[in-house]
Structure 1
């Protein structure tokens, strides 16, 4: 009977968590966001457009090696879609199913649904790993997990909403320090590889949590730390092998470690809090780059629960911290990394340690590394609070309800973003007709040639033209990327403009290249015609 009751509580916990996730997806995301098609009357913007373009080109290309390269984008080398945050894990699965997908489909919208459903389910799985298996605490944690402000506010960047991977990694840690097995380590290693193929930032966080396993066991004096160390080493080798095989190694970006760092006040700064938001009308920032990437308000429900646990269960809290000392050290290290070399508190820089070592330059948005700390605080606080006499379970449920209510402005911002239907700034119907006849498209200025401050708005126009081209997809010469191999791509537009049009080529000239095109492009006067602010050049 007791086993049956345990299994029923587990099933109900996951069912409720799943229902919460599905309810959030239904409430927040319109169907045309979740299931996009070619020919839509509105234009994706910013990072969302970048991710969708990368996936569409990848889905429309042949399978090849390395498996993430789309050769129909920036030929002949092609684009590794990991460098445009195309969620490779999902993209490869969709590519295997592309024969049954709608025309022009991409999975970026669908990924939001996956992330929002997985977030509460993974949090419940993690809480159960901490030893709390009752239904009410599970409901409280599920509600709190979908209400973590740092999770909700990643809506502009689909891959980074995959923060359920942090709960998964934390759940593996909690199980591995208690009862390790070969099967568990195999699952953990597979989870690390999958997380890499969602986003490398998340993989770095997940590996840090997994690496806490042998450290905790060592600090406990448990001889199993040796086997745990081997397990972590195997996971790291597997991740490194996938990075090498899939073309991640050698990638670099614009650098700037710490430009988007964690402000020391951020976890307590109630921006977009329903209860306290009037005290914080905007993000807190000391670096001059805005506080968005370092946004880590923990939420009112979690902060009140932390205070309650510290006040009512100080001995149990201290014992838990000592018992998981390796995890505490890992989280402290991630916090230091998040704060970066320029330590900001409020609007002031308290400490500037100068330039960071070169390898850290890959982590410009260092403030993200506080996410595992928030997840661990949620699970640890819930587990401790649930064990309080008499009202423990109800207290965790109350934490979740308060956290959920306090996150209402965050959800409203997400819903408003998902409801946007931005107009095309290019003539989409006319361009679709031209692209239907083209064998290739050349967009100028190409991404390396668009000025950093983009005075002509050519970055937006370029993404919109590529969004339209990706619906087929038509092989294109350029793409906005977050990372690249080797040196930063050079601007070679002058040489391209001096080259006659190739058979089947459609050349689309944005305002920033129009003057140069008319002056240097062969037969420009006879082969180019205005289309709004653009010039389109093709067969006579």
Structure 2
């Protein structure tokens, strides 16, 4: 009932995908849509068509790998389109209620009282807030299931159930996995304490007692993680950032931020939306009443239902959620940390730490309800719970109505698509759709990815939760070098940004590829010999705009300058900093024109401070497989390098200069400072 009330029921229909056409939701759906038609490989979660060349997997598109791998064998019998995210949401609501009911049963309350208490969990704002963008993260029931395993009276098959839950969380979402693991560790500590009190064990006995469970949980989790493609992105290459930005404000439990009908709202820093953990006015009243009950209705000491290790874990996760950048409303204070600590924290895979408060959130609600159910009796308890639930529903009405309106509007919207004679013909002819330069989450990527999926094309126009940065940079440089060197793949359709159009005019002859603008996209179609589409604008026609590569050419390679468009393989040039080499060789393309060769001046500077033991001392420049010049690298700057560049064809075009160390076995640690090209003589 709650699921249909909140969502309007539209997301439950497997064939309804319109509501999944935006940003993070599109990422999750498209990851599955590409995966269902991908060939079976090892690992099973590999998704080569979505993020072509990026070593992507179903895990890093946040497509709930557990369900994706379950439904993929049935893909031939499933309708097109098909989505399981609505069914997942329904299951999350049901399981949230099931485990909340079981947890509240620890107080041995009447069914009506447990039902009223369950409302606080089923309509928890932090869970409902994820319906707008992160389907996998709606699975808060896993946190409740972990709490139930930690608190349940029976410990039968505890190790097996923990292995199942931890492994399941791993193939749903990494953040849920981390929280479930934290609760499991608390349970291990508490069970060890109980055993020590009953019968002290020797150190060797402790190891023998817990080693089988650790082996079972870790091995099961690693196995399913590998199957889902988790290890296809290495921890070293994973580009995660946002620690201390995507955090929780200390006022988050009281900050309605648009959810409160009573207008509870506090200022917060930009990234603190990830730490949305509103208790609701009813939840706050529940906690306040619990504190008053503990102070005024003193009773004989009871057995503690929530063990100390679990509270310690909850406190530690709350501290992690806040981070060292402490926010109290609009006030922000940075807690100084040693540089070494900060560097390690800033590279954690789990950067949106504001989510880590969810364990604390549910533990606070659970503890408050258990105290209320234990200390109050009969009709008075039921009336109190009714009043608290009514206050909660009244306060959350604004947020629930807004969420329902948003979800219904998305379901009624029509996604922007690429249709027409050219796009249909290109979908049949080309097998891959690429952007140049490669860019993740570029504006309008959803339209391109939906088009590629419809025509069963591979594409790098995607959004991913994590990427392998070295692989991304290699693919970025390879695409640029293919354009600069006129080495385009005949089976690939390229979409260029506005700056790369000037490069395509100069580097790719008209006989090799059509270059035009259609439906807001700059299209480079290799081997396209048919007439241009009726609505297309020919980008090879003379333009009033001056070419950025006319001679004499000079550029200092500042970010946004034309010089960076001429960098081929072997550079790290995607940021605003210095252009530095990242391999054994690097290539630069220079514009040439006229009947004679051109004088080229390439300025080089050392990238390192001499700490690289295998650093090159002499640099050679090669053209067409022949050495054309060299210079000695010093601790300051390479001498200005001048060399003649022979022509290969008349008219303006580009020539490739390959830079490499004179001695093999060393790396090219240099920075490219500037490029100058002038007519010979």
Q: By the TM > 0.5 criterion, same fold?
A: yes
1:35 aligns with 2:9: no
Distance between the aligned counterparts of 1:340 and 1:318, measured in 2? 36
In the alignment, structure 1 residue 481 sits paired with structure 2 residue 464 = yes
Q: Which residue matches 1:240? A: 222
**1:9 counterpart residue number:** none
SS, match of residue 153 in structure 1: helix
The C-alpha deviation readout for 1:293-341, integer Å capped at 9, x for no partner, is 0111111122111111111134579856685111111101111111112
Give the corresponding residue for 2:673: none
Q: 2:283 — aligned with what?
A: 302
Aligned to 1:347: 330
Q: Take 2:456 and 2:303, find their aligned partners in 1: how far apart are those partners?
A: 54
Q: Distance in 2 between matches of 1:429 and 1:110?
A: 34
Matches within 5 A, 1:355-374: 356=342, 358=344, 361-374=348-361
The structure-2 alpha-carbon separation of the partners of 1:234 and 1:511, relative to structure 1 and needing over 3 Å to count, comes to same
Structure 1 position 411 matched with structure 2 position 411: no
- Structure 1 residues 241, 426: closer, same or farther in 2, change over 3 A? closer
Instruction: Give 2:45's aligned residue.
Output: 68
Q: What secondary structure sits across from 1:291 in the alignment? A: helix
Pairs within 5 Å for 1:222-371: 222-223=197-198, 227=209, 231=213, 234-244=216-226, 246-249=228-231, 250-251=234-235, 252-277=238-263, 279-280=264-265, 284-286=267-269, 289-314=270-295, 315=298, 324-354=307-337, 356=342, 358=344, 361-371=348-358
Contact 2:247–2:354 (CA<8 Å) still a contact in 1? yes
Tell me if structure 1 keeps the 8 A contact 2:47–2:56: yes
How many angstroms does 1:510 deviate by?
A: 4.7
Distance change (3 Å), C-alpha of 1:319 and 1:509: farther
User: What does residue range 200-239 of structure 1 map to in structure 2 within 5 Å?
Assistant: 200-219=174-193, 222-223=197-198, 227=209, 231=213, 234-239=216-221
* 1:65 Cα deviation from its structure 2 partner: 0.8
Partner residue of 2:362? Answer: 375
Alpha-carbon offset, residue 174 of structure 1: 1.0
Consecutive unaligned residues in structure 2, runs of 5 or more: 530-681
Q: 1:43 to 1:207 in 2, by over 3 A?
A: closer
Note if contact 2:61-2:463 (Cα within 8 Å) is conserved in structure 1: yes
* 1: CA distance, partners of 2:61 / 2:171: 12
Q: Is the 8 A contact 1:446 1:479 kept in 2?
A: no
| 1:49-88 correspondence runs (5 A) | 49-75=26-52, 78-88=55-65
Distance 1:255 1:43 in 2: 26
Q: Secondary structure at the match of 1:444?
A: strand
What is the RMSD computed on CA atoms of the aligned residues?
3.1
* Distance across 2 between alignment mates of 1:232 and 1:396: 41
Match of 2:641 in 1: none
Task: Note if contact 2:64-2:173 (Cα within 8 Å) is conserved in structure 1.
Answer: yes
Per the alignment, residue 497 of structure 1 pairs with 483
Contact residue 257 and residue 366 of structure 1 kept, 8 A: yes
Q: Distance in 2 between matches of 1:433 and 1:320?
A: 69
1:198 counterpart residue number: 172
CA distance in 1 between counterparts of 2:167 and 2:79 reads 29
Whether contact under 8 Å (2:283, 2:365) holds in the other structure is yes
CA 1:430 to 1:511, structure 2 compared with 1: closer, same or farther past 3 Å?
Answer: farther
Between structure 1 and structure 2, the one with the greater Rg is 2
Structure number with the higher helix fraction is 1
1:445 aligns with 2:436: yes
CA contact (8 A) 2:260 2:280 kept: no
> Is the aligned partner of 1:138 residue 2:102?
no
What residue is the counterpart of 1:152 in the other structure? 128
Mean Cα deviation higher: 347-356 or 364-373: 347-356
2:537 equivalent in structure 1: none
Deviation at 1:429, TM superposition (A): 5.4
Map Cα deviations across residues 231-267 of structure 1 (whole Å, 9 max, x no partner): 3563244323433454424242332312111111111
Shift in Å, 1:97: 1.7
Call closer, same or farther: CA 1:43–1:208 in 2, change over 3 Å.
Answer: closer
Matches of 2:93 and 2:419 in 1, distance apart? Answer: 32
1:466 aligned residue (440, 449, 459): 449
262-271 vs 439-448, which moves further: 439-448
Greater mean alpha carbon deviation, residues 156-165 or residues 194-203: 156-165
SS in 2 for 1:60: coil
Pick from 148, 163, 167 the counterpart of residue 189 of structure 1: 163
Does the 8 Å contact 1:438/1:506 carry over to 2? no
Does the 8 Å CA contact 2:437/2:480 hold for their aligned counterparts?
A: no
Residue 179 of structure 1 pairs with residue 154 of structure 2 = yes
Cα distance in 2 for residues equivalent to 1:466 and 1:325? 49
Which segment drifts farther, 490-499 or 463-472?
Answer: 490-499
Matched, 1:532 2:509: no
Using the alignment, how far apart are the partners of 2:78 and 2:420 within structure 1?
Answer: 23
* 8 Å Cα contact 2:260/2:397 also seen in 1: yes
Higher mean displacement: 361-370 or 142-151: 142-151
Q: Give me the whole-angstrom Cα distance separating, in 2, the residues matched to 1:431 and 1:108.
A: 33
* Deviation (angstroms), 1:36: 3.8
Query: 2:377 matched to which residue of 1?
Result: 389
1:213–1:98: structure 2 CA closer, same or farther, 3 Å change rule?
same
**Contact 1:443–1:462, Cα closer than 8 Å, also in 2:** no
User: Quick one: structure 1 residues 384 and 469, their matched pair in 2 at CA, closer, same or farther if it must change by over 3 Å?
Assistant: same
Secondary structure of the corresponding residue to residue 465 of structure 2: coil
Cα distance between partner residues in 2 of 1:72 and 1:296: 37
**Structure ranking higher on relative contact order (CA contacts 8 Å, 6+ apart):** 1
Change (3 A) 1:237 1:477: same
Superposed displacement of residue 102, structure 1: 1.4
> What is the DSSP-based 3-state SS (H/G/I as helix, E as strand, rest coil) of the residue aligned with 1:460?
coil
Contact 1:216–1:323 at 8 Å: present in 2 too?
no
Per the TM alignment, residue 423 of structure 1 is displaced from its structure 2 partner at its CA by 5.6
C-alpha separation in 2, matches of 1:254 and 1:189: 28
